[in-house]
Structure 1
Amino acid sequence: MTTPRPVLVVDFGAQYAQLIARRVREARVYSEIVPHSMPVAEMLAKNPAAIILSGGPSSVYEAGAPQVDAALFQSDVPVFGICYGFQAMALALGGTVSKTGLREFGGTKIEVADEAGCLLGGWSTGQDVWMSHGDSVSAAPQGFAVTASSPGAPVAAFEDLVGRRAGVQFHPEVAHTRNGQQVLERFLYEIAGIEPTWTMGNVLDDQVALIRAQVGDAQVICGLSGGVDSAVAAALVHRAVGDQLTCVFVDHGLLRAGEAEQVEQDYVAATGIKLKVVDAEERFLTALAGVTDPEQKRKIIGREFIRVFEVAAREIAASGDVRFLVQGTLYPDVVESGGGTGTANIKSHHNVGGLPDDLQFALVEPLRTLFKDEVRALGAALDLPEAMVWRHPFPGPGLAIRIIGEVTRDRLDVLRAADLIAREELTAAGLDRDVWQFPVVLLADVRSVGVQGDGRTYGHPVVLRPVSSEDAMTADWSRLPYDLLAKISTRITNEVPEVNRVVLDVTSKPPGTIEWE
């Protein structure tokens, strides 16, 4: 194992906790997330190089609100507090937290002190940062220098270089905070004294070792969906255990045009992985018949996937005991399914919330703590073809959750045709990598009046949902050229007779999710 001493990110219930860990990794420093409920002794037993206290939704004065054990500060481990973690840290060290009467949410300008210290040194005053707080630190603990303030936060940043402790009220981990990454790196490099030596090669080596230790000499199966997540997860497990892995491609009839062929031909040729193909389209469509609720769709698809895997496993078992199932679960899936400490259940993902209780396999989830861009980097380190590494994210339930209403074979055909046109035109415009994801949604239970060939039509609308993102935790709609949108719209309404209207979704995430269901 090559894993260095970790930077522990203590999760106080904010969805940004993993984003903090990701930013630390971008600084080439290894990080792990731990729950705020973990005793300090257990944290210190991990021999951390530093500890970062994340934000959270609570007020430090609420009954039952998580607190920072003062025992943490009796160690010599460097500590950095962010937002709620900043306030909890100040309180534990003898500072004062109070309501100023002026909450700050979103973009805020902070005034940087003349003696800006290490974190903010060289910053001009009036810096743009991202705030999200009601309470504020009104007095810093003894020994701390106050280096910034804002209208709603008398103490917006402080530091104690002797004790190697610092904190900020704002969120340096989000892209909206100007120079935010620099703040994190100054803490890591200059205050904590950590060398930036961790790379994606370390992830590969560590995961290979962990997978070998977990699996031993047992047989493993993996469901290939055609997406980058399952492709990278399978390639990583194959690197670890070789022919102990058999991939199962379940053609559930919910894929986009050309994707089945890509899995059956291109991926096998690139990796040499053993592949078993199961044609289960009829089974999935039968199970989905009459179902319109999106949560129910996801759970049905998750259940049927596992049942198909169980059948495939029995057929594969002749060559050995199949005890493990590989999942391409990513951290955003876990967070949105309520898997983060204190986070809300936004929607079930078929590889997180849709698994049946009587699952017969132990899970191997080598990507569970990674974001999509890290998965792509890992895929490149595994020498996967570029076309696979940079494929747009595609949900496990497939087109079923891009059809608003019942899923039928005819509706799938309509959506596939419209989706293919959108993808073809985006590629032709050279904008594939400028767009994170480009769902095309069929409003199957909605019809609108149109006119084609001087006659009245009563067809379906489709929604174009191009989004830009770094990590799928937040996203904004992509400002595609009008000429491109017009070409996509014209082709869809001309070439897909069931569709007579094309609309554009201009909602960010939040408040909307990337997928409609």
Structure 2
Amino acid sequence: MDKIIIIDFGGQYTHLIGRKVREKGVYSEIVPYDMKIEEIDSNVKGIILSGGPYHVSEDSPKIDPRILDLGIPILGICYGHQLIAYMSGGKVGPSKKKEYGITYVNIINNNDILKGLSKKEKVWMSHSDSVFSLPDDYEVLAYSENCPIAAFKHKYKPIYGVQWHPEVYHTENGDVIFENFISICNCNRDWKIENLLDKMIEEVRNEVKNGKAIIALSGGIDSSTAAMIAAKAIGNRLVAVFVDHGFMREGEVESIKNTFKELNLIVIEAKDRFLEKIKGVSDPELKRKLIGEEFIRVFEEIAEKVGAEYLIQGTIYPDRIESGLRHSDKIKSHHNVAGIPSKIKFKKIIEPLRDLYKDEVRKIALKLGLPKEIVYRQPFPGPGLAVRIIGEVTKEKLEIIRKADKIVREEIEKSKIREKLWQYFAVLTDTKTTGVKGDERAYGYVVAIRCVESREAMTARFANIPYKLLERISTRITNEIPQVVRVVYDITHKPPATIEWE
């Protein structure tokens, strides 16, 4: 099967590139930047160099220089764009003015990789360095106000570079660049995400063999899909476990019990245990790690009772990339990734969804026949409401955030805007302010509302919620929750912020 490989320099959007290629019907594979030329097989029809957190220099990560002479089409994005220029003899250095977010680029030559683009394009930039000069055998294709060489091509080889991120949906015509590159690569378009299902089932079967495995079930789309895959792979040798850590939303525990009763679900009541584990902890990283560690310990105890040697989790790609695996900068730990202790009693942790995005998981889930209320359930962090409380988690704060979250969900779900939103929730901040309730001075918490639009959770835009809807939410929260005196709305995109506050 034809494929395009993405050489990973640790950019937060690396797997978005892979996803974009797969959307076009071509198989993509993420590989480390230190791979050798001998590892590139004959099925590789194109190479994409990802972005990354590095500054191009003599000591920064680089590809095997022989790759540039293979004759295989190459596209550099952001850091990859700069790296190609640097390794070819061009000049790269700090920009006079950094570019983060929406930028406009001027197209000089809209042939080849930029075919079909207009003279001015709206793109997404995220860089502090720029390419300032190129060797004679390269041609400048585009520039921006603060970036003199925003795109280039080699005059005689199929080598291209763009400083912006065509894989991010904020770049209006990013798909055009991928279409052009795939056409240049002359790839067969015979890849479908559904083709992964049999491979994932077989992988779980081969890992577990004749043993038993526990699935960490949360009721969300990721763990539910992983559970269905595992059930098809090993049948009744799968033990489904739901841990009620006390950080769930209102009514969620009962809903999960009802939905998965046919799996003979084991429910572990552990509210006090988890609350005690993070008592006095304010640091969000430590909260996530402690919760992750306690999850593992609970599962180890159950595994010992039922004789299970493997743990299956619904970890997906954004969990791994934000937890700083491989060469990427760590943004935040996820309880089922970086929270895993260095010593565990399981033979192995199996993650069949580890390279998929949420929308890809949904396609697999629909093929498996999961109900739509699970398939389209909005993302909810594994540590639950514990990471929607800024600072220390207490029973009182959990009660406040649970009520606030319920109000937000009720009001959003009654409105037409719900279908446009990726996530909507409340955050209990650690700030207290003065207010007036019943003609008396009040001093209470500030609750923040977060509503975002996204396609894959790697980038997101805050949603333009109607003022009347925000007013209803604010009024209900301050009227129905005595401890809250102020409600604010988060108008920050991702990046620079993450979707969750912690």
User: Fold-level match, TM-score > 0.5?
Assistant: yes
How has the CA–CA distance of structure 1 residues 492 and 8 changed in structure 2, closer, same or farther, with 3 Å as cutoff? same
How has the CA–CA distance of structure 1 residues 468 and 184 changed in structure 2, closer, same or farther, with 3 Å as cutoff? same
Instruction: Tell me the alpha carbon deviations over residues 473-504 of structure 1, each in whole angstroms, 9 at most, x when there is no partner.
Output: 22222211111111112222222233232222
- Written as runs of structure 1 = structure 2, the 5 A alignment for 1:452-491 is 452-491=437-476
* Structure 1 CA distance for aligned equivalents of residues 165 and 259 of structure 2: 42
* Structure 2 CA distance for aligned equivalents of residues 447 and 90 of structure 1: 51
The equivalent residue for 2:181 is 187
How has the CA–CA distance of structure 1 residues 217 and 123 changed in structure 2, closer, same or farther, with 3 Å as cutoff? same
Within the alignment, does 1:313 sit opposite 2:303 as a pair?
yes
What is the root-mean-square deviation in Å for CA atoms of aligned residues?
A: 2.4
CA drift of 1:10 comes to 0.5
1:502 maps to a residue whose letter is V
The equivalent residue for 1:51 is 47
What secondary structure does 1:447 align onto? strand
The equivalent residue for 1:389 is 375
The equivalent residue for 1:267 is 260
CA contact (8 A) 2:103 2:123 kept: yes
How has the CA–CA distance of structure 1 residues 338 and 181 changed in structure 2, closer, same or farther, with 3 Å as cutoff? same
* Structure 2 CA distance for aligned equivalents of residues 335 and 469 of structure 1: 17
How has the CA–CA distance of structure 1 residues 124 and 237 changed in structure 2, closer, same or farther, with 3 Å as cutoff? same
Within the alignment, does 1:369 sit opposite 2:355 as a pair?
yes
What secondary structure does 1:18 align onto? helix
| 2:407 paired residue among 396, 408, 421 | 421
Give the stretch that moved more between structures: 461-470 or 95-104: 95-104
| 2:219 paired residue among 220, 226, 231 | 226
Within the alignment, does 1:344 sit opposite 2:318 as a pair?
no
The equivalent residue for 1:209 is 202
The equivalent residue for 2:487 is 502
Give the stretch that moved more between structures: 241-250 or 502-511: 502-511
How has the CA–CA distance of structure 1 residues 439 and 101 changed in structure 2, closer, same or farther, with 3 Å as cutoff? closer
* Structure 2 CA distance for aligned equivalents of residues 29 and 141 of structure 1: 33
1:491 maps to a residue whose letter is R
What secondary structure does 2:75 align onto? strand
Structure-1-length-normalised TM-score? 0.89
CA contact (8 A) 1:245 1:273 kept: no
CA drift of 1:257 comes to 0.8
How has the CA–CA distance of structure 1 residues 452 and 11 changed in structure 2, closer, same or farther, with 3 Å as cutoff? same
CA contact (8 A) 2:442 2:485 kept: yes
Within the alignment, does 1:85 sit opposite 2:70 as a pair?
no
CA contact (8 A) 2:53 2:329 kept: no
CA drift of 1:396 comes to 0.8
CA drift of 1:85 comes to 1.7
The equivalent residue for 1:356 is 341
Instruction: Tell me the alpha carbon deviations over residues 242-262 of structure 1, each in whole angstroms, 9 at most, x when there is no partner.
Output: 222111001111100111112
The equivalent residue for 2:274 is 284
**Aligned residues with identical type, % of pairs:** 45
CA drift of 1:191 comes to 0.6
CA contact (8 A) 2:95 2:128 kept: no
2:284 maps to a residue whose letter is P
| 1:75 paired residue among 67, 70, 78 | 70
| 2:417 paired residue among 411, 431, 438 | 431
The equivalent residue for 1:15 is 12
How has the CA–CA distance of structure 1 residues 153 and 421 changed in structure 2, closer, same or farther, with 3 Å as cutoff? closer
* Structure 2 CA distance for aligned equivalents of residues 449 and 147 of structure 1: 56
CA drift of 1:98 comes to 4.3
* Structure 2 CA distance for aligned equivalents of residues 483 and 151 of structure 1: 39
Instruction: Tell me the alpha carbon deviations over residues 264-315 of structure 1, each in whole angstroms, 9 at most, x when there is no partner.
Output: 11234xxx43311111112112223333332222222112111111111122
The equivalent residue for 2:436 is 451
CA contact (8 A) 2:247 2:384 kept: yes
CA drift of 1:95 comes to 5.0
CA drift of 1:152 comes to 5.3
How has the CA–CA distance of structure 1 residues 288 and 133 changed in structure 2, closer, same or farther, with 3 Å as cutoff? closer
* Structure 2 CA distance for aligned equivalents of residues 274 and 45 of structure 1: 46
How has the CA–CA distance of structure 1 residues 379 and 120 changed in structure 2, closer, same or farther, with 3 Å as cutoff? same
How has the CA–CA distance of structure 1 residues 137 and 482 changed in structure 2, closer, same or farther, with 3 Å as cutoff? same
Instruction: Tell me the alpha carbon deviations over residues 137-181 of structure 1, each in whole angstroms, 9 at most, x when there is no partner.
Output: 623563x55543445555543446974433323322122323111
How has the CA–CA distance of structure 1 residues 485 and 166 changed in structure 2, closer, same or farther, with 3 Å as cutoff? same
Paired residues in the alignment total: 499
1:75 maps to a residue whose letter is L
How has the CA–CA distance of structure 1 residues 394 and 5 changed in structure 2, closer, same or farther, with 3 Å as cutoff? same
Within the alignment, does 1:124 sit opposite 2:109 as a pair?
no
* Structure 1 CA distance for aligned equivalents of residues 148 and 448 of structure 2: 46
* Structure 2 CA distance for aligned equivalents of residues 166 and 483 of structure 1: 48
What secondary structure does 1:38 align onto? coil
CA contact (8 A) 1:224 1:263 kept: no
CA drift of 1:437 comes to 1.5
* Structure 2 CA distance for aligned equivalents of residues 25 and 282 of structure 1: 45
Within the alignment, does 1:170 sit opposite 2:174 as a pair?
no
CA contact (8 A) 1:140 1:146 kept: no
**Structure 1 stretches lacking a partner, 5+ long:** none
CA contact (8 A) 1:136 1:152 kept: no
What secondary structure does 2:44 align onto? coil
How has the CA–CA distance of structure 1 residues 179 and 282 changed in structure 2, closer, same or farther, with 3 Å as cutoff? same
How has the CA–CA distance of structure 1 residues 432 and 238 changed in structure 2, closer, same or farther, with 3 Å as cutoff? farther
How has the CA–CA distance of structure 1 residues 278 and 46 changed in structure 2, closer, same or farther, with 3 Å as cutoff? farther
How has the CA–CA distance of structure 1 residues 404 and 22 changed in structure 2, closer, same or farther, with 3 Å as cutoff? same
Within the alignment, does 1:411 sit opposite 2:397 as a pair?
yes
What secondary structure does 1:515 align onto? coil
CA contact (8 A) 2:10 2:329 kept: no
